[in-house]
Amino acid sequence: MFSVTTVNVNGVRAAARKGGLQWLKEELESGRSTVACLQEVRATTEQLQEVLAEEGLTDVHVAHDSSERLGHAGVAILSTLPLSNIKTGVGPKQFNGIGRWVQAEVASAVGPVTIASVYVHAGDVEKPVQQEKYAFLDAMSAWLKKAQKHDNHFVLAGDLNVAHRPQDLKNWKGNLKNAGFLPEERAYFDHWFDKLKVVDLGRHLSGDVEGPYTWWSMRGKAFDTDTGWRIDYHLVNPELAALAKHQHIARAASWAERWSDHAPVTVTFSAD
C-alpha cells in the first residue's frame, strides 16, 4: 500500500516540543504513512534538518521550500521512499521563495506519483494578500490542468485555506463574506472538480456528510464543540482516486493533547 499524510504543523520546532514529530516518526516507521506533506514549517532547511535529527528522523528523504521571510510559511515533504525531480514554487516567479509549494516524484506501490505539499494563503478581504491568494490559485489551476495530461499520478496535499461547500465548515452562514469561504475562492474548486476532473479525496471518501473537519481554532470552545473547517485536502487525478481506499483524520482526543490547530489527514491507496 501507499499512504500520504498532510498536516499543517504550525511551526516544526513547536510541533516537536509538543510531540508532533514523534507522532510523524511513528507513522512513517510503522508504514501507516509513506509520505508526509507538512505546511507552515517556519524554519530554514538547516533548522528543519536539525529538528529531524533531534527527533530521530534522519533516515527519511526530505524536500523543503522555505520562505525568505523568516519564521513564516514553509512546506516540506518527508518520505520513506527516495524523492526525485524536486521542484519548489509554482507558476510565476512571484511565488519563488515564499515557502508555499514543493513537489517531488516517488516510485510508489501504485506507480510513479508526483506529490506536492501546498500551503495556500489564508487571505484577507480587506488586504492585498487576497489578490495574492487568487494569483496563487490561478497558478494552481494551470498546474492541475497540465498535470492531468501527464502519465504520472499526482497528489496535491496541503492546507488550501478554502472550505469548498457549506458541509466543509460548521458556521458557513457566518463566513459568507470572509476569506476562506468567499464565492470567488470556492469557484476555483468548482473549476478543478467539475471542469478539470480533479478529485477531492476527502469528499470522495467521506461522502456527502458534514465535515469531517480538519481545522479548529485554538481559541474558545471550537474544538470541544467540533466547530471546525475542512481545509486540508488531497487532490488527485481520477485514475489514482480509483485506488484510494481509506481516509483517516487523526483528531486529538482532547484540546490539551493537540500539537497543532490542524489534524493530520492520511489517505491510503492500494492497487488491489
pTM for this prediction: 0.96
Query: Looking at the chain, how many residues does it have?
Result: 272
- Return the pLDDT at 187: 98
Instruction: Go through the domains of the chain in sequence order and give each one's CATH number.
Output: 2-269 (3.60.10.10)
Question: Strand pairing of 2-8 and 35-39?
Answer: parallel
* pLDDT tier at 159, thresholds 50, 70, 90: very high
Average pLDDT in the chain: 96
Query: What pLDDT shows up at residue 93?
Result: 87
CB 248 within 8 A of CB 206: no
Q: Which three cell numbers stand for residue 6?
A: 498532510
| Residue partners of 168: CB distance under 8 A and separation at least 6 | 211, 213, 229, 230, 231
Per-residue model confidence as pLDDT tens digits over 85-121: 999 999 888 899 999 999 999 999 999 999 999 999 9
Whether the pLDDT of residue 272 is over 90: the answer is: no
Asked if residues 231 and 214 have their Cβ atoms less than 8 Å apart, the reply is yes
Assess whether pLDDT exceeds 80 at residue 124. yes
Using pLDDT thresholds of 50, 70 and 90, give the confidence band for residue 129: very high
Considering only CA atoms, which of 193, 197, 201 is closest in space to residue 249?
201
- Ramachandran class of 108: left when φ > 0, alpha when ψ lies in -120 to 50, beta otherwise: beta
